[in-house]
């Protein structure tokens, strides 16, 4: 069977599975809609958290970033993995013991203020919509290539799917759908990696093949070969970096702190029965996440090697079918500047004739390596699973922030459980439409957009949550001032230097030499300073709030 038939078959089966789970686990109360009733077993929550965490950025884009950036791309591995450890150790168990539905709920109650709750809602919406833009873009990329539909149509299909199981099932439906999605995405990620590792190095384990000699008998190591190819084409060596040490640190820490402040990941730890179960599920998910994250550098190196050797100096008339297929999506563009019919792929933009979207590397990798059609289709299903699982989690954060933290907690405190559930579903539906708009009009390629969402989470939520747990003296004035300052500063920097809305210049104008992806660290430090200074200028929190902080830090359940 050809690739398209295999893709329809595998994607169709996976979609049928998701819909079946959504019908089976339909939420019947707000508690089930928000936190799956708080009865998810640790192993299931670990798998669901891993799927929620490993978004389209992890599955589709991370290896693509490393493939093009080389050494500099390691910041995404270090930042996202380190951030999850930070979340598991510092925040998740305490938030679970606090026992609320959402992060803005924690902010509102801990800082005894609806103003703080409202700021928390606004921050959650900004972070979630920025993040979900990357997920919907990933859905569109997969559909555009493998189901041969326009990207916009692919985004609409993804919207319908997410709407169905997020709006019907809420957190209960999303949780068990994400368990299935983890199984699909990790299988889809590892199978081609194992195939290609055997092809290139003779080693079946990609992590070993990454540091091994090529199987062609030359005695050359894979990374040495890749460094040589880069030198020949004028690129920086794959194993050398071009970013400053401070910028690397800033990006890494922004991703770490952003991870620990992501509301859709934090809320997963509210779904288990106890604080102990939160710790156990964090351990499960860390192991499950590590499988993909330790494989990504190998996939990046394999893909980069195969890509360069396949297309560099190749005759355009005789390029493989995969090249023409991706070219038809607009994600590969060949401009024959010297009209000689040969693809010139070099570092110099004046003479380079090939533009390749970074988001296609993982998806195109099996085709470049000439793997069986069923493997190629499997990767498409895995990419969709990764994007849809995270999109669903984000949409739930958006809907619960509106229905629980705005409608119930502020505007209609006497609303019934049934009415609140209706508002939650309406909120999820509106959020799907907005997410679809961002998918059709994306602000950038997947991982770059997602990196900015992490910067926003670091600049807004992380200090407020951390100080809320470990600083009894932190009051509502300090928390609100810090969140507002950090968020506004990060948004301004994004608009000025990433989106160029304010006429920002190039990298030579970056503040402290820090890129927009790393500026979350600077904005986070400003948030901490503002929070601590302002809090000391006003009265300490009420005694009952301070007692609550002591209680959630006590050992035990």
| Phi-psi domain of 37 (left: phi exceeds 0; alpha: psi -120 through 50; beta: other) | left
pLDDT reported for residue 523: 94
Give the CATH number for residue 246.
1.10.4160
Mean pLDDT of 119-135: 76
CA 446 to chain centre: 8
Q: Quickly tell me which residue has 């192993």 as its tokens.
A: 43
Instruction: Give pLDDT tens digits for 348-399.
Output: 888 888 888 877 888 888 888 888 888 888 888 887 777 777 777 777 777 7
The answer to whether the CB of 144 falls within 8 A of the CB of 362 is: no
What letters, b where the CB count within 10 A reaches 16 and e where it falls short, cover 67-90?
bbbbbbbbbbbbbbbbbbebbbeb
- Which domain, by its residues, includes 227? 3-305+369-451
In a domain, 17, yes or no: yes
Can you tell me the distance from the alpha carbon of 445 to that of 448, in angstroms, rounded to the nearest whole number?
Answer: 6
Question: pTM of this prediction?
Answer: 0.81
State phi, psi for 315 to the nearest 5 degrees: -75, 125
Does the pLDDT of residue 531 top 90, yes or no?
Answer: yes
Mean pLDDT of 323-337: 83
The answer to whether the CB of 34 falls within 8 A of the CB of 428 is: no
pLDDT reported for residue 421: 75
Instruction: Give pLDDT tens digits for 261-320.
Output: 777 777 777 777 777 787 788 888 888 988 988 999 999 999 899 889 888 888 888 888
Q: Is 254 exposed, middle or buried (0-12, 13-18, 19+ CB in 10 A)?
A: buried
Mean pLDDT of 504-527: 83
Percent of the chain exceeding pLDDT 70 equals: 90
pLDDT reported for residue 31: 61
In a domain, 470, yes or no: no
* Tokens describing residue 386: 């990764």
In a domain, 330, yes or no: no
Confidence of residue 501 (pLDDT cuts 50, 70, 90): very low
In a domain, 80, yes or no: yes
In a domain, 333, yes or no: no
Question: Which has more pLDDT, 306 or 87?
Answer: 306
Q: How many domains does the chain have?
A: 1
Does the pLDDT of residue 518 top 60, yes or no?
Answer: yes
In the 8-state DSSP scheme, what is residue 221? Answer: B
Q: Is 363 exposed, middle or buried (0-12, 13-18, 19+ CB in 10 A)?
A: buried
- Three-state secondary-structure class, residue 510: coil
CA 177 to chain centre: 18
Instruction: Give pLDDT tens digits for 449-477.
Output: 566 777 888 888 889 989 999 999 999 99
3-state secondary structure 144-210: HHHCCCCHHHHHHHHHHHHHHHHHHHHHHHHHHHHHHHHHHHHHHHHHHHHHHHHHHHCCCCHHHHC
Can you list the positions of beta strands (E) in 462-541? none
The answer to whether the CB of 152 falls within 8 A of the CB of 440 is: yes
* Tokens describing residue 274: 């106890």
Q: Is 374 exposed, middle or buried (0-12, 13-18, 19+ CB in 10 A)?
A: middle
In a domain, 433, yes or no: yes
Confidence of residue 210 (pLDDT cuts 50, 70, 90): very high
Distances (CA, A) of 538 to 238, 471, 534: 53, 15, 7
Instruction: Give pLDDT tens digits for 13-48.
Output: 887 877 777 777 666 666 666 665 567 888 888 888
Instruction: Give pLDDT tens digits for 166-193.
Output: 666 667 777 777 888 888 888 888 999 9
DSSP H or E segment with residue 449 = helix 446-470
In a domain, 515, yes or no: no
Question: Which has more pLDDT, 494 or 186?
Answer: 186
Q: For helices 74-86 and 446-470, give the axis angle rounded to 10 degrees.
A: 30
Can you list the positions of beta strands (E) in 281-405? 332-334, 354-356
Can you tell me the distance from the alpha carbon of 176 to that of 504, in angstroms, rounded to the nearest whole number?
Answer: 45
The residues, ordered by sequence, that sit 6+ positions from 147 with a Cβ below 8 Å of its Cβ are 4, 7, 8, 11, 154, 380
In a domain, 300, yes or no: yes
């Amino acid at each position: 069977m050809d690739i398209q038939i295999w893709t329809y078959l595998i994607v169709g089966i996976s979609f049928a599975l998701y819909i079946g789970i959504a019908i089976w686990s339909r939420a019947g109360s707000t508690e089930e809609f928000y936190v799956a009733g708080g009865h998810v077993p640790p192993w299931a929550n670990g798998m669901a958290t891993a799927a929620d965490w490993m978004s389209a950025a992890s599955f589709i884009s991370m290896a693509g970033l490393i493939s093009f950036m080389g050494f500099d791309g390691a910041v995404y591995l270090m930042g996202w993995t380190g951030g999850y450890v930070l979340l598991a150790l510092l925040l998740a168990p305490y938030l679970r013991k606090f026992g609320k539905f959402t992060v803005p709920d924690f902010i509102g109650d801990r800082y005894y203020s609806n103003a703080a709750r409202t700021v928390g809602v606004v921050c959650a919406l900004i972070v979630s919509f920025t993040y979900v833009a990357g997920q919907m873009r990933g859905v569109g990329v997969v559909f555009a290539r493998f189901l041969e539909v326009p990207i916009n149509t692919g985004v609409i299909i993804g919207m319908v799917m997410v709407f169905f199981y997020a709006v019907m099932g809420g957190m209960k439906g999303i949780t068990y759908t994400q368990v299935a999605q983890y199984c699909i995405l990790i299988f889809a990620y590892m199978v081609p990696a194992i195939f290609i590792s055997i092809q290139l190095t003779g080693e079946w384990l990609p992590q070993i093949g990454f540091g091994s000699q090529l199987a062609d008998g030359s005695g050359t190591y894979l990374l040495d070969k890749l460094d040589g190819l880069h030198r020949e084409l004028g690129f920086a060596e794959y194993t050398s970096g071009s970013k400053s040490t401070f910028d690397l640190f800033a990006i890494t820490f922004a991703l770490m702190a952003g991870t620990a402040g992501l509301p859709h990941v934090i809320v997963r730890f509210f779904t288990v029965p106890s604080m102990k179960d939160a710790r156990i599920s964090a351990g499960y998910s860390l192991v499950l996440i590590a499988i993909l994250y330790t494989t990504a550098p190998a996939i990046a190196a394999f893909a980069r090697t195969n890509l360069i050797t396949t297309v560099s100096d190749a005759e355009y008339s005789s390029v493989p079918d995969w090249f023409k297929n991706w070219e038809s999506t607009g994600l590969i563009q060949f401009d024959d500047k010297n009209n000689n019919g040969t693809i010139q792929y070099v570092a110099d933009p004046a003479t380079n004739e090939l533009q390749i979207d970074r988001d296609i590397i993982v998806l195109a990798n099996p085709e470049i390596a000439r793997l069986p059609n069923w493997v190629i289709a499997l990767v498409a299903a895995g990419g969709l699973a990764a994007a849809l699982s995270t999109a669903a989690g984000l949409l739930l954060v958006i809907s619960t922030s509106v229905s629980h933290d705005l409608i119930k907690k502020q505007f209609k405190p006497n609303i019934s459980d049934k009415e609140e559930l209706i508002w939650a579903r309406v909120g999820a539906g509106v959020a799907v439409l907005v997410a679809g708009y961002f998918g059709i009009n994306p602000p950038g390629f997947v991982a770059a957009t997602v990196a900015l969402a992490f910067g926003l989470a670091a600049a807004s939520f992380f200090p407020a949550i951390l100080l809320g747990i470990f600083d009894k003296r932190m009051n509502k004035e300090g928390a609100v001032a810090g969140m507002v300052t950090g968020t506004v500063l990060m948004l301004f920097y994004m608009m000025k230097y990433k989106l160029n809305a304010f006429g920002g210049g190039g990298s030579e104008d970056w503040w402290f030499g820090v890129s927009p992806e790393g500026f979350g660290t600077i904005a986070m430090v400003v948030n901490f300073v503002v929070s601590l200074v302002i809090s000391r200028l006003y009265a300490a929190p009420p005694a009952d709030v301070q007692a609550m902080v002591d209680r959630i830090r006590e050992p035990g359940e």
